[in-house]
Amino acid sequence: MNDHMVRMLSLSCAILFFQAASGPARADHFTIDLEVKAPKANRMVHAETLGLGVKTKPRAVLEIQAGDKITIKWILASTAKDVVKDVQIQFYAVKTSKPGDPPPPPREFDKDAILQTALTMDFKPKDKTEGELSLQVNKPGTYLLRLETKGAAVGPDDHEHFATLDVIAR
């Protein structure tokens, strides 16, 4: 076996080891069901992870009429084996210029958001929190709705969780 083959074998082992080691770290420790119901349509989305090197999916879209009252329901549950302490669960609905726009930078109370909520909780294994909100969308436009964790990226769990969709009011 020459030096080149030894180096290639070492590199392959290193890549395999890195993938094996990073697999458990990326394991989901929260599930999210986020459902938005409008008078004529509804849409449910689920948890994605937010971390270095994680690609997000194209955002789902729900079309409504301006003036519609929508109901937003979410359930966020822990699937972790240990207690995850002091997790903040934030939800917001904010007007954006077009579908797929990135979320705005976080602020404590965002004056541009038409709805913003937050709560803090410790999650023991299988603990969950739920929310149900009603919101009238008066003006036409694109609104980003997003539920996300803050403070869940601790220890080996190096990522946050979120669920998101765009609501387009015609």
Partner 1 sequence: MRYFWMAGLVGIIILASAVRAEHAAINLRVIRVDSQTREEKDEINTTVVHQEPPGENVEQRPLFKARVGEPLVIQFILTNTYPHGEKKDVRIRYFVVREAKAKQKTVPDPREGGVAQGRFTLNYKPKCRVGVRQTFTINEPGSYLLRVQTENTDSDHEHFAAIEILVEK
111 binding partner 1? (CB under 8 A): yes
Rounded CA gap, 55 and 32, in Å? Answer: 18
Is residue 125 a contact partner of residue 81, using CB atoms and an 8 Å limit?
Answer: yes
79 versus 134: smaller Cβ distance to partner 1: 134
CB of 95 to partner 1, least distance (A): 10
117 binding partner 1? (CB under 8 A): yes
110 binding partner 1? (CB under 8 A): yes
Is residue 145 a contact partner of residue 90, using CB atoms and an 8 Å limit?
Answer: no
131 binding partner 1? (CB under 8 A): yes
26 versus 37: smaller Cβ distance to partner 1: 37
Is residue 101 a contact partner of residue 143, using CB atoms and an 8 Å limit?
Answer: no
Rounded CA gap, 152 and 150, in Å? Answer: 6
130 binding partner 1? (CB under 8 A): yes
SS3 content of the chain, % helix, strand, coil (to 5): 15, 50, 35
Answer for which of 6, 138, 140, 154 binds partner 1 (CB under 8 A) is 138
CB of 122 to partner 1, least distance (A): 6
